[in-house]
A and B are shown apart, each in its own frame.
Chain A
Amino acid sequence: MTFPKSFSKSSALPATAEPTDISRRGFLKTSLSIGAGFTLAMTLPSAASKLAAGTSESVATDTVANAFVRISSDNTVTIIIKHIEFGQGTFTGLATIVAEEMDADWEQIVCEAAPANKALYSNLLYGAQGTGGSTAIANSYTQMREAGASARHMLVAAAAQQWAVPISEISVSRGVVSHGNGHSASFGELASAAAEQAVPATVVLKDPKDFSLIGADTSSRKDLGKTDGTAIYTQDVKLPGMLTALVAHAPRFGATVKSYDDKKAKAVKGVVNVVQIPSGVAVLADTFWNAKKGRDALQIDWDTSAAMSESSEDLMQRYRAEVENPGLPAVAEGDLAAGFEKAVKVIEAEYEFPYLAHATMEPMNSVVQLTSAGAEIWNGSQSTTSDQFTVAGALGLAPEKVKINTLFAGGSFGRRANKKSDYVLEAVLIAQANKSELPIKLVWTREDDTNAGYFRPMYFHKLKAGLDSSGKIVAWHHKIVGQSIMSGSVFASFIQNGIDGTSVEGATELPYHIANFSVDLNTVESQVPVLWWRSVGSTHTAHAVENFMDQLAAAAGTDPLAFRLAHLGEDKRYRGVIDLVAEKSNWNDKNEPGRLKGLAVHKSFGTYVAQVADLKVDKNGDYKVERVVCVVDCGVAINPDVIRAQMEGGIGYGLSPTLMSQITINNGAVVESNFDQQQVLRIEDMPEIEVHIIPSAEAPTGVGEPGTPVIGPAVANALFAMTGQAQSKLPLRSS
């Protein structure tokens, strides 16, 4: 294959606006600055990129309206996307917002991933460039609107000047600028003149009632090439002279290389080099298969003196003992002891959650080239700035000497937001040890991906609540035991008073008003590497809280829906999603024979989700999740179909750990290695899903994660209705 032009080493043009490069080339026409995000307006020919693509006959001209918008004389509008696209629909979502304010035609929009540039492309909620916590839309909404409105203003100003008419008399619709006296021009025709216009200091944003793209159901996705094999992922990058590297990782957590013999590995045809790195021994070869054969031929003596020897069972036993010790308070409201004194019934429950692998379809990988100019990386990472700074630190380079090309990722779910840039750094260290300027592609096999981590931590929960004589919850004590995700990483400074928020989120802020309310955390240590996993703390807290609520409802002799409504606090958005899910699932109707329903509600990352799982149960008690009704309130709905897709996918992703997925540790090593052992959801277990979106004018919040944590308790609650047994050990099919 030929390498895509935007990544081509031979292309003379930067993929996006880099002020210094462009001014050096003398293409800069005007340069104005009104703060981060609106840096320059200029015109540059895209002849070089056309040449690279083999179409030299026409020379289009690109106008950079701002850091996020480039308009070409061929009428293409390119939106620079500062967040990675890994399936959640960011290209489509952010482009919709810009195109809305520009009044562009959706068909003229193309998207391009932003380069690493903290100053221009930071996540405004994090202060660093990165994607996570379902923040892409939430942090960019106003910024993208302003970028679109600013570009529109420059086009209109150019037209007003050319036609000698007032700006106020010009209208824009679907990529055409026009004036009542018959003047009309496309964005492309106005592009170079627009570049001469001043970037506006302020812009007027549309009244949401005038939105035609935001909230519309007709926009096609902009992450293209996914039905004909042409989309390029890290796995597909091919550079001249590139070598493929496979790493033999330690067989147990904490083991290190004592010595190794690479004679047989180096004798494999195609193997070029074998190097030791901190995480193991890497084999570099011309192809994947030769690198794998080389790795299989390595003989490594591992030093296991500091290796982990515990199993998952050992850890759970340790967690169960630990829960009896006093924890640190994450929340302590009211007077717990006084609350329990008022109780006529006290209910207790325990929950065990295993380690979970992200198991992205594209295993971890990264391409890197080290030259005298610095480092260049091609991959699909969520943590652009963090990777850039970590790699720069490891190589002793200034951060701007680390160039990152962000590609589509074949799934991530948090895995490619590594707190230590693990696989990115591994690729860099291999390239460094190889002492060559040849690019290298690090490829993890599926087994590497399952065995090396990182994982959603294992947790143990213990809950105790008291009901008064009217069936109201008068005391709630929730204890959580597990490893800290942030500890020992660059995120450690976020740990406040010993509480890692990712361990308790979803348990500390409930939909329900409970006067005497405590959540305690006991943080424990283990050598198993842990990380955020789609919806993070809510993956376990939502299950514990919402399944416990059904147990309390049963103890109070109340319907689970009515019990929840009786305890709802002041936040009316919970009520909205619950009422609609009850209506759409016919909650109050009697179940048909062999059918059972379970309800759960949870807010994560500012988005409210209620789900009803409808289970079909046979005579043996075997069950299938037949149908799910999902209601989501995420504020302004940018792309309803993307929201539906994320709810569907989030439910499917959450069903894996609900029903069958887990990572088990034995003697400090992961037991599962490939998809024959690590079971994940397949098509026959996917329910029918119906998604309803609450109409809202609230600021938009994310949808990538919030669908995931709700399905587990919804299913567990249906099973509780059937058996009267708490669903306390995940995955449910293991117990």
Chain B
Amino acid sequence: MTITLNINGSKREIDAAPDTPLLWVIRDNIELTGTKYGCGVAQCGACTVHLNGQPVRSCSMPISAIGDQQVTTIEGLASREAKAVQTAWEDLAVAQCGYCQSGQIMSAVALLKTNGNPNDDDINQAMTGNICRCATYKRIRDGIKLASQRISAVQV
């Protein structure tokens, strides 16, 4: 059946079963591959996207539940917070294998949207759902702190 999704600011007609997880529609139907599959059960966070700005695990969200909510993937990031996070990630060389980093960045951006100056506990709470097997967690933490210092200076 056909479902209309609003992804990265444009409407897309999707021919997929209603129980298909948003992740697989993003990857296989819309062919945006920045959002990754890691576990399929909302345990690792590699598939994190924003739904009306909130971080969600797209692997465990059927497309029938999306409605007219705005889906933002790593490819659609454009906010001040996003630029600050992505630049901090580059400057601190956070990524190693990089596979989980789209999800890490989506969670970090969502955190900074609601909390411009997070402390370690805030970061733990927001990022505990995102596994990184290269264990880049130290630099993820440093990256979020660096981005939080820079947000106000970012040009968008």
Bound-complex Cα distance A653 to B131 (A): 11
Contact of A410 among B21, B99, B123, B138 (CB under 8 A): B99
> When A220-B93, A228-B74, A676-B43 are in contact, do A413 and B133 touch as well, CB less than 8 Å?
yes
Say yes or no: B33 contacts A648, CB within 8 Å: no
Question: In the assembled complex, how far is the CB of residue A284 from the closest CB belonging to chain B, in whole angstroms?
Answer: 14
B96 interface contact, C-beta 8 A: yes
A98 interface contact, C-beta 8 A: no
Complex contacts, A445 vs chain B, CB 8 Å: 40
Complex contacts, B34 vs chain A, CB 8 Å: 228-230
Complex contacts, B46 vs chain A, CB 8 Å: 361
B154 interface contact, C-beta 8 A: no
B18-33 CB mask vs A (1 if < 8 Å, else 0) is 0011001001110111
**Interface set, chain B 6-53, CB cutoff 8 A to A:** 16-17, 20-21, 24, 27-29, 31-41, 43-44, 46
Bound-complex Cα distance A483 to B52 (A): 52
A333 interface contact, C-beta 8 A: no
B156 interface contact, C-beta 8 A: no
Question: In the assembled complex, how far is the CB of residue B132 from the closest CB belonging to chain A, in whole angstroms?
Answer: 7
Question: In the assembled complex, how far is the CB of residue B13 from the closest CB belonging to chain A, in whole angstroms?
Answer: 16
**Interface set, chain B 92-125, CB cutoff 8 A to A:** 93-102, 105, 123-124
Contact of B139 among A235, A287, A447, A648 (CB under 8 A): A648
Complex contacts, A698 vs chain B, CB 8 Å: none
B131-148 CB mask vs A (1 if < 8 Å, else 0) is 111111111110000000
A105 interface contact, C-beta 8 A: no
Question: In the assembled complex, how far is the CB of residue A550 from the closest CB belonging to chain B, in whole angstroms?
Answer: 25
Question: In the assembled complex, how far is the CB of residue A110 from the closest CB belonging to chain B, in whole angstroms?
Answer: 16
Say yes or no: B24 contacts A289, CB within 8 Å: yes
Question: In the assembled complex, how far is the CB of residue A623 from the closest CB belonging to chain B, in whole angstroms?
Answer: 17
Complex contacts, A223 vs chain B, CB 8 Å: 95, 98
B58 interface contact, C-beta 8 A: no
Say yes or no: B101 contacts A227, CB within 8 Å: yes
Contact of A235 among B33, B40, B130, B135 (CB under 8 A): B33
Complex contacts, B56 vs chain A, CB 8 Å: none
Segment of A82-90, A344-352, A495-503 engaged in the interface with chain B? A82-90
Question: In the assembled complex, how far is the CB of residue B122 from the closest CB belonging to chain A, in whole angstroms?
Answer: 11
A233 interface contact, C-beta 8 A: yes
Complex contacts, B17 vs chain A, CB 8 Å: 269, 289, 293
Chain B residues within 8 Å of A, Cβ to Cβ: 16-17, 20-21, 24, 27-29, 31-41, 43-44, 46, 73-75, 77, 86, 89-90, 93-102, 105, 123-124, 127-128, 130-141
A-B contact pairs, 10 of them (CB 8 A): A220-B90, A289-B20, A289-B24, A289-B28, A360-B133, A361-B44, A411-B99, A446-B41, A653-B135, A684-B128
**What 8 pairs across the A-B complex have the smallest Cβ distances?**
A229-B34, A652-B135, A410-B99, A226-B98, A87-B97, A87-B96, A686-B137, A229-B74
- Given A360-B99, A409-B97, A683-B141; 20 other pairs, CB 8 A cutoff: A87-B95, A220-B93, A227-B89, A227-B94, A227-B101, A227-B105, A229-B74, A238-B33, A287-B28, A288-B37, A289-B24, A361-B99, A361-B131, A363-B37, A649-B135, A651-B135, A653-B135, A674-B39, A680-B133, A683-B128
